[in-house]
């Protein structure tokens, strides 16, 4: 069954898959590479395309249908980022990677520029084993981090990606971290300097379509909240709303 399911996933373009258990059910874990190069702009690479949650859910829906109609499953449900399990933990247990110093999951073939999705099902399958690998420990991510969030552990309150999504007023130190990141949403620096990402694979085709790499005041300031949702609601950067993005644009321009 596991071999049959992995072959079906591969036919959808999902080549890195693994199996583990969660809550008494089988978890079929999938990796979705998205990196197609860092382009000039102020958005993190993961936000360039249509919202990855929607893309992953569409792929996982095909896997769920296959399990229910071709494999005899009574239950199959897909999750993309938001779900009952910690996706990085599932990926580790399913033999799909190991943790980097920057807390991201690293896959030997994909590096770290990938999303994680999974399907929970009632069909029993043999679990894969963790890889047992580890990152090179070069420290480049910690050295390059604009907020020094990786010094002696991980300090989320100094992570530029987290700060670009933080609501409300920011301290001058937090604003300076965003300036150094160069992004109004997210941050790619720790991944871009990572040796494990020296030769990232081609992304899935869905992440090459309808790309936006840069936001400007002119694109946002004249929009009502409803118009903003209508125009950008299908983008990963839209979830925090227009006000936070405009605040971050102001920070980068000062």
Please state the three-class secondary structure of 153-218 as a single string. Answer: CCCHHHCHHHHHCCCCCCCHHHHHHHHHHCCCECCCHHHHCCHHHCCCCCCCHHHHCCCCCCCCHH
Residue 145 φ then ψ, to 5°: -55, 125
Find the Cα–Cα–Cα–Cα dihedral 136, 139, 145, 151, rounded to 10°. 120
SS3 state at 13: coil
Torsion sign across C-alpha atoms 116, 206, 82, 8: negative
Instruction: Specify whether 70 is catalytic.
Output: no
Distance from C-alpha of 172 to C-alpha of 223, rounded to nearest angstrom: 28
Catalytic residue among 65, 81, 151, 173: 81
Residues belonging to the active site:
81
């Amino acid at each position: 069954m596991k071999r049959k399911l992995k072959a079906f996933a591969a036919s959808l373009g999902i080549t890195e898959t693994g199996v583990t258990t969660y809550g008494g059910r089988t978890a079929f874990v999938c990796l979705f590479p998205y990196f197609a190069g860092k382009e000039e702009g102020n958005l993190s690479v993961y936000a360039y395309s249509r919202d990855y949650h929607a893309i992953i859910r569409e792929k996982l829906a095909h896997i769920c249908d296959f399990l229910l109609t071709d494999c005899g499953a009574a239950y199959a449900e897909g999750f993309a980022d938001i779900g009952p399990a910690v996706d990085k933990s599932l990926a580790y247990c399913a033999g799909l990677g190991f943790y980097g110093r920057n807390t991201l999951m690293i896959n030997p073939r994909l590096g770290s520029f990938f999303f994680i999705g999974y399907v929970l099902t009632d069909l029993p399958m043999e679990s894969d084993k963790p890889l047992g690998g580890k990152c090179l420990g070069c420290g480049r991510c910690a050295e390059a981090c604009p907020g020094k969030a990786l010094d002696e552990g991980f300090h989320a309150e100094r992570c530029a990606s987290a700060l670009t999504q933080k609501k409300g007023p920011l301290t001058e130190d937090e604003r300076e971290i965003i300036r150094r990141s160069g992004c109004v949403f997210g941050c790619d620096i720790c991944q871009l300097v990572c040796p494990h990402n020296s030769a990232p694979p081609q992304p899935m085709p869905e992440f090459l379509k309808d790309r936006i790499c840069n936001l400007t005041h002119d694109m946002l300031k004249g929009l009502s909240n409803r118009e903003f949702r209508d125009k950008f609601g299908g983008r990963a950067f839209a979830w925090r709303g227009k006000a936070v993005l405009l605040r971050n644009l102001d920070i980068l321009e000062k």
